[in-house]
Structure 1
């Protein structure tokens, strides 16, 4: 069984047996134009570990070979080949290698200004996707940057990356019944929602709504509701100065203690602790490439 790292402490541990190919927006104008902070392909082994307690921009990660562990929605998931994970901005995010297994992965880190990073754009998820073409596009961009760095050629590689990002993320947002439902929920988070009301908005039965959410989002309607509420609360804590009690009411919690407990379960921090964390000054929020 994998031993998970302390997720309350910022960690960047590459290790001597791991290597990464990375391109940053500071190096590539085409990435900056698409609001992508950086892209990377990593071939990793223990002790490779990343923990980010303040993810300022959304993060998409594809497992290419081997396996590792990724923290999503406050829980650890085994990340295997052909699976892509998405972590929205303002959440706790972590991943690490497991003993005896190499892990090859590709990632795309979005700037806070990206449409993928805005509040409510996406919920944490892990879903099937073959990321090999995305891997080749990132490596192609890196090779061009290391050679002529021709702006037109770089723009072509970045366009391929952006198209595959859209191909990964768009299906998660295309189920019209769920889009209608979660748009309605986000517009009224303070409401005391129940599954019957949500199923009515989605024009489906409660049981079918549960199946749809599990298939598309990997979680129940109730857990999706809590995830959206905590993501919006994290956004409010990170970007404003409203009192915790006010934020609790805005996201549907009459009892601030219940809100605090749920927030800690999802993010690993009490709301007051979350607000006091240092905030990155770079557009990607990091110094090390994640």
Structure 2
């Protein structure tokens, strides 16, 4: 945890600062936002629903906040450190670590004073009708070797500036997608964790305890804590809350049940307590989430 910091305001923020430098590649030629307008273009990125990728060397006052991020964002740090806001809390990401910021919630990035932050990123463009890169089994953060992804982005950028060969660009893009996918699904082969979260997904309204979760995984409570911290960047109980918020988000976006009914379905008997928790994790209240999803 990064300590006590101010919360983002109600508006999106995009502050790069004079000391921040980056190299990006767009997946669409119609993306004409100021900071992307003069960057390289590779249409093959769109095959994987990638909006843009890049390498950034950021310094304070760098800060970016998106209140309704429209796609998964993966960040891999190769030098220094910075802060990300996700799951309602600030987390420090440093060299040799990566994080996954999910779509359709509030996410924020920020440099700390006098601390440079060098990272590469892959940003997706996703819809609520398809499964995003981030799943119930994806980590918030974790160890990650940053050099291969960084070099793949730099290789793709070099190709767009030279021969612009579709075959070569396809290889670089497929490689990037593989790096993201491998980080996003770290424990598919670990049946212990798979069994635990499958059970929670099937019954999110149950008052799960660490003892029960450990029993399902057939490991000790402390071992389960270590596994979750290593693979997901969350404690077991935080992961239960994450799965509940995911389920609630789906129900709010796709159904017409009252908020108090949805609250009970995901384990909250008090709608106010549910609303407070939802705002902390997602960035706005359940009624606002339903409105943004097009439901009335």
TM range (shorter): 0.7 to 0.9
Higher relative contact order (CA 8 A, sep 6+): 1
| Pairing 1:44-123 to 2, within 5 Å after superposition | 44-112=58-126, 117=132, 120-123=135-138
How far does residue 160 in structure 1 lie from its aligned partner after superposition? 1.6
Change (3 A) 1:249 1:116: same
Unaligned stretches of 5+ residues in structure 1: 280-290
- Secondary structure of the corresponding residue to residue 186 of structure 2: helix
Question: What is the distance in 2 between the residues matched to 1:46 and 1:278?
Answer: 34
Aligned to 2:232: 217
Aligned to 2:284: 269
Aligned to 1:129: 144
CA RMSD of aligned residues (A): 2.6
How far does residue 23 in structure 1 lie from its aligned partner after superposition? 1.4
Aligned residue among 5, 8, 18 for 1:6: 8
Taking structure 1 as the reference length, the TM-score comes to 0.85
Aligned to 2:46: 32
> What whole-Å deviation, never above 9, does each CA across 1:152-194 have from its counterpart, x for those lacking one?
1110111221222233233244422111110221122123322
Unaligned stretches of 5+ residues in structure 2: 29-40
Bigger drift between 111-120 and 4-13 goes to 111-120
How far does residue 259 in structure 1 lie from its aligned partner after superposition? 0.7
How far does residue 257 in structure 1 lie from its aligned partner after superposition? 1.4
Aligned to 2:34: none
Aligned residue among 230, 241, 248 for 2:263: 248
Question: What is the distance in 2 between the residues matched to 1:109 and 1:33?
Answer: 13
Contact kept in structure 1, 2:253 and 2:293, CA below 8 Å: no
Question: What is the distance in 2 between the residues matched to 1:248 and 1:69?
Answer: 31
Bigger drift between 166-175 and 212-221 goes to 166-175
Question: What is the distance in 1 between the residues matched to 2:228 and 2:5?
Answer: 30
Aligned residue among 226, 230, 247 for 2:241: 226
Aligned residue among 9, 17, 20 for 2:19: 17
> What whole-Å deviation, never above 9, does each CA across 1:80-100 have from its counterpart, x for those lacking one?
111101122222211111221
| Pairing 1:160-239 to 2, within 5 Å after superposition | 160-238=175-253
Taking structure 2 as the reference length, the TM-score comes to 0.84
Aligned to 1:260: 275
Question: What is the distance in 2 between the residues matched to 1:164 and 1:8?
Answer: 33
Aligned to 1:285: none
